[in-house]
A and B are shown apart, each in its own frame.
Chain A
């Protein structure tokens, strides 16, 4: 557990010392979301209708942005080799890296999304639902993204390939995340959608660390 905490703190400290990296992701989120009213047109009812999907899809893209460096920097400077040799499970280390990625990107996205939702004319209750779904859903994105990052470590055209691998696997989270906000707006079972979103996160939590660790061991060979 000390190894987990140490690795988590190290990654957070690294992110803290280079705040620009996380800020770029958030800036991308704001700019990309702002494009939709310009592209679709400023009619308030259309914007409110598509807000959940737009904010969720863009959050998915934004969380992909920082993934290619999740293991790449460790791979280049050799600290990944030390992680592989460490006398405690690599799965725990992987979990710490994913947790750090979530705290640096997923959490700020979930906080920022309701602010952007106001510009789309979402109701206060919908804004709360949006923040809740992103809080529950973004850990899944970090875990699946971590898997894609580990699989593409050292590959040619890594960035585009990473998106090609991660996006199809993120679709269930996207469907239930955006669906939950829709359900909340129409008075359907919001809790049910949120529960499925949480279930997806737990399944990802229970399965992806093993797959990521296996992928990293292949990369380290």
Chain B
């Protein structure tokens, strides 16, 4: 934790992120190149789903990251309210739209996959509904943090909202087990080991790692932008 507190200073964070970003950008591009080849060329078509199984390589990592993104928002919210870290507010502002985008990608790819597989773009199934709610919570967070003339006030209100909304995360995770509806239950994160053959599991995990790198890259970049924006606003203000 000590290291994270060290990064709470925006200027220090900016120096850190500028050192990390070039390498991370290169690594992300490389990881996506390999991951897309693994997912689109190397992985065999599923014996039931055929080629549509490849949608999963985008769908599942986006779903994971939209949840990771919200957990990050809640953690940032807690650290803003507890330690008043100035960086936590800026990073939450930067991360919320990224997480919302991953939620949208997850919902869109899911309905594209659902059309040939379930015969419908959308069903009001427990997991789909809770994922949609997560997207709405993201929208609320984004709107609330930008609804005040005083940005600090918006940041703190959004932090409280993030902490309240985090209740939705376990509901999404366990919705497929609690309500046994159309969406298939978890097949990777199970106690008795993944229920997916390694020829599909490895590309999936590779893609998940690539998406995670993309997520970190976008959040770091956008946080830098937020720091710069806040500095410009401070410079613009009449003394």
Contact = CB atoms under 8 A, between A and B. Distances in A.
Interface string B152-185: 0110110011011100100100000000000000
Interface in A138-161: 147, 151-152, 154-158, 161
Contacts of B129: 171
B164 A156 contact: no
A164 B129 CA distance: 16
A156 B148 contact: yes
Q: How big is chain B's contact interface, by range?
A: 20 to 34
A211 B147 contact: no
Contacts of B133: 168, 171
A161 B164 contact: no
Contact of B143 (A147, A164, A218): A164
Given A164-B136, A168-B133, A168-B136, A155 B144 contact: yes
A43 B115 CA distance: 32
A156 B136 CA distance: 19
A207 interface: yes
B160 A165 contact: no
A132 interface: no
A159 to B, nearest CB: 11
A145 B133 CA distance: 17
Interface residues of A, number: 24
A164 B137 CA distance: 8
B7 interface: no
Nearest to B129: A171
B108 interface: no
Contact of A164 (B81, B139, B164, B165): B139
Given A154-B148, A168-B137, A169-B165, A214 B143 contact: no
Contacts of B137: 168
Contacts of B164: 147, 169, 207-208, 211
B140 interface: yes
Interface in A59-114: none
A219 interface: yes
Binding site secondary structure of chain B: helix
Contacts of A221: 153
A151 B161 contact: yes
Contact of A165 (B144, B149, B154, B168): B144
Contacts of B139: 164
B153 A218 contact: yes
A219 B154 CA distance: 10
Contact of B156 (A147, A156, A164, A218): A218
B153 A151 contact: no
Closest 8 CB pairs of A and B: A155-B147, A168-B136, A218-B156, A165-B140, A151-B157, A168-B133, A164-B140, A215-B160
24 contacts: A151-B160, A151-B161, A152-B144, A154-B148, A155-B144, A155-B157, A161-B143, A161-B147, A164-B139, A164-B140, A165-B140, A167-B136, A168-B136, A168-B137, A168-B140, A168-B165, A169-B164, A171-B129, A172-B171, A208-B164, A211-B160, A218-B153, A218-B156, A221-B153
Interface of B: 81, 129, 133, 136-137, 139-140, 143-144, 147-149, 153-154, 156-157, 160-161, 163-165, 168, 171
